[in-house]
């Protein structure tokens, strides 16, 4: 099992949105996205934008791969696809919670599911299914170009 | 949505830029709308807070997904001129290339519009329109007009 500490480094976009890893539960990762004004999609109702849910689910799924017991911490990955089903709008002024789990890791691909909820994990506001390609380039592009010359 | 009603009353129901400015999350991403005759293009200028991978660097998949979804909704509002925001039922994203630290453009087409639900496809590119960085397709519930 990976160290929770290793998972803590945040991307600038995650920091800007304001979501944080709150812990792990076996192979699953748990996240929280506090309600914030800049996440609102409909100013009439205060309901947060679907795009913010997309962002936290995408990030949560990536972290779940890194939390898989067979994940090679030297490796890298890229999202291949992500499908989100929106079940109901998030209740305004209430945090969004996410539970993500990588349920299969093969040589090339990681398969991950995620659930976004507010009060009860069994009453989701959205669910997601994602696949990640493993061992993708993770070096600055300039170096990539130089090495191909 | 009040702004949609207001724009309609002012005869500006196709002013998607005014609508985008009214959505806090669209402002947070920095999305603006360009119109070239009939075609609508969304533009997301690069900024550091969009970065997901600092090593490459690459734009966060969530920001890519959000731009696809936003482009789809704006195109749908333009085509249907409904007064409520369509509700996303599902949205699927294919990531084709990593988003480099450049301006990102998006366009969408409403592939099928029924009475209650619409099917929309969207695509994003950066400096080369022939090299798409992401594709999206989704279903949206339309509010009864």
Mean pLDDT per block of 10 residues along chain A (149 residues) reads 57 91 93 96 93 93 93 88 95 96 95 97 96 85 51
pTM given for the model: 0.92
User: Cβ distance B16 to B74 under 8 Å?
Assistant: yes
At A149 the pLDDT is: 45
Say whether the ipTM exceeds 0.85. yes
pLDDT score recorded for residue A5: 54
In the predicted model, is pLDDT for residue B48 greater than 70?
yes
User: From residue B131, how far is each of B10, B58, B108 by CA, in Å?
Assistant: 39, 16, 16
Provide CB contacts within 8 A for B92, sequence distance 6+. Answer: A81, A82, A83, A84, B136, B137, B138
Burial of A142 (0-12, 13-18, 19+ CB in 10 A): exposed
From chain B residues 45-74, the ones with a CB under 8 A of any chain A CB are: 48-57, 59-63, 65-67, 69-70
Tell me the angle at which helices A50-66 and B61-80 cross, rounded to the nearest 10 degrees: 150
Task: Identify the CATH assignment for B2-141 out of 2.40.50.140, 3.30.1440.10, 3.10.129.10, 3.40.50.150.
Answer: 3.10.129.10
H or E element that contains B134: strand B132-141
Residue range B88-140, pLDDT digits in tens: 999 999 999 999 999 999 999 999 998 899 999 999 999 999 999 999 999 99
Residue to mutate among B20, B24, B57, with most A CBs inside 10 A, is B24
Helix (H, G, I), strand (E, B) or coil at A51: helix
**Residue in B2, B56, B85 closest to A138 by CB:** B56
The domain locations on chain B are 2-141
| Domains in chain A: boundaries | 5-148
Residue range A5-148, CATH number? 3.10.129.10
């Amino acid at each position: 099992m990976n160290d929770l500490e290793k998972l803590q480094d945040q991307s600038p976009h995650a920091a800007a949105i304001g979501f944080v890893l709150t812990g792990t539960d076996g192979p699953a990762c748990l996240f929280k996205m506090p309600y914030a004004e800049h996440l609102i999609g409909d100013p009439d109702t205060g309901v947060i934008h679907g795009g913010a849910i997309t962002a936290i689910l995408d990030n949560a799924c990536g972290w779940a791969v890194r939390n898989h017991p067979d994940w090679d911490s030297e490796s890298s990955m890229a999202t291949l696809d992500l499908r989100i089903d929106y079940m109901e709008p998030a209740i305004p002024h209430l945090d969004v919670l996410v539970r993500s789990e990588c349920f299969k890791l093969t040589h090339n691909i990681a398969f991950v599911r995620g659930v976004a909820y507010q009060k009860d994990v069994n009453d989701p506001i959205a669910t997601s299914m994602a696949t990640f390609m493993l061992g993708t380039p993770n070096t600055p592009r300039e170096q990539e170009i130089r090495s191909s010359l | 949505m009040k702004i949609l009603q207001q724009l309609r009353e002012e005869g500006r129901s196709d002013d998607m830029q005014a609508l985008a400015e009214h959505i806090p999350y669209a402002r947070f991403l920095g999305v603006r709308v360009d119109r070239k005759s009939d075609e609508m293009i969304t533009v997301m200028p690069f900024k550091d807070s969009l970065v997901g991978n600092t090593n490459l660097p690459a734009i966060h998949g969530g920001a890519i997904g959000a731009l696809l979804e936003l482009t789809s909704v704006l195109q749908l509002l333009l085509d249907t001129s409904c007064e409520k925001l369509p509700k996303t039922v599902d949205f699927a994203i294919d990531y084709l290339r990593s988003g480099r630290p450049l301006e990102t453009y998006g366009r969408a087409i409403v592939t099928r519009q029924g009475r209650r639900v619409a099917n929309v496809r969207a695509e994003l590119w950066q400096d080369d329109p022939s090299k798409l960085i992401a594709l999206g397709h989704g279903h949206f519930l339309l509010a009864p007009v």
